[in-house]
Amino acid sequence: MSHFPCLTRRGKILLALVAAAFGCARGGDGPLITPSDAELAQPAPDSFRVDFETSRGRFSVIARRTWAPHGVDRFYYLTKHHYYDSTYFFRVIENFVAQFGISGNATINSAWQSRRIPDDAVRHSNTRGTIAFASEGPNTRTVQLFINLKDNAKLDGYGGGFPPIAEVIDGLTVAESLYDAYGDGAPSGLGPRQDLIMGQGNDYLRRYFPRLDLIQRASIIQEWR
């Protein structure tokens, strides 16, 4: 899918609208619409720190490539291009997990829905504070992540296993305070439907689930190679 080139002179009002949807306003957004295979194949640093600024406060994580190289490479690419900015914690289940990673932009969701990554072996347990990709089975990880809010060792082997890619090193209490009253998604709980988030983006969440917490910005702060 092509993206709109950034203009310089005419059509400034139109540009502002297009940039908001397709990423011309910030240079890092373009690759979220049309990520190249070559870019996605680039390895991440051995480890790196990401700060999450949220509606509840800040928490920091360290990603470790030795834990899950395919997953960490994807996380690095997405975070580098600010994919997780303005995304919601749409599935928060008390004393279990806080899940996030569906874009608020339906066009970006379409671009990433089939961008699956190979499985990694589970080399670290899903202990409290670790972060792993969500999946629907073998080789189905794409962009969604969850934070373990307790020790979830059962996830190490369930459905083929959920290999952690990172761990919260500061501000875990912020993650544990995320709004969780909606619970699981429908029909299991009162929370949002993932297909409607995919198709309608943040407008759907803001209208029907106004109390959900938001990632305002996720930034790579430091890298180690």
DSSP 25-92: SSTTTHHHHS--HHHHTSPPPSEEEEEEEETTEEEEEEEETTT-HHHHHHHHHHHHTTTTTTEEEEEE
Cis check: omega of the bond before 163, within 30 degrees of 0: no
The whole-angstrom separation of Cα 218 and Cα 225 is: 20
- Give the pLDDT confidence score for residue 209 in this predicted structure: 98
Rounded-to-integer distance, Cα 5 and Cα 22, Å:
9
Instruction: Evaluate if residue 8 carries a pLDDT over 60.
Output: no
Residue pair 196/204 in contact (Cβ under 8 Å)? The answer is yes
C-alpha 165/C-alpha 73 separation (Å) is 9
For residue 23, pLDDT over 90 is answered with no
What is the three-class DSSP state of 163?
A: coil
Q: How many helices (H) and strands (E) does the chain have?
A: 8, 8
Q: Do the Cβ atoms of 176 and 137 come closer than 8 Å?
A: no
Q: In angstroms, rounded to a whole number, what is the distance separating the alpha carbons of residues 32 and 28?
A: 8
Task: Quickly state the pLDDT bin for 30 (edges 50, 70, 90).
Answer: low
DSSP element (H, E) containing 110: helix 106-112
Q: Which domains does the chain have, with CATH numbers?
A: 44-224 (2.40.100.10)
Rg (CA), the chain: 17
Calpha distance 10→167 (Å, rounded): 47
CA–CA–CA angle 90, 24, 205 (5° rounding): 20
pLDDT at 197: 97
pLDDT tens, residue by residue, 70-129: 999 999 999 999 999 999 999 999 999 999 999 999 999 999 999 999 999 999 999 999
Tens of pLDDT, residue by residue over 177-204, are 999 999 999 888 999 999 999 999 999 9
Is the pLDDT reported for residue 69 higher than 70?
Answer: yes
**The residue to which tokens 């305002």 are assigned:** 216
Cite the beta strand spans of 57-139 per DSSP E.
Answer: 57-64, 87-93, 97-100, 130-133
Confidence at residue 11, expressed as pLDDT on a 0 to 100 scale: 36
177: β partners:
none
pTM recorded for the entire structure: 0.86
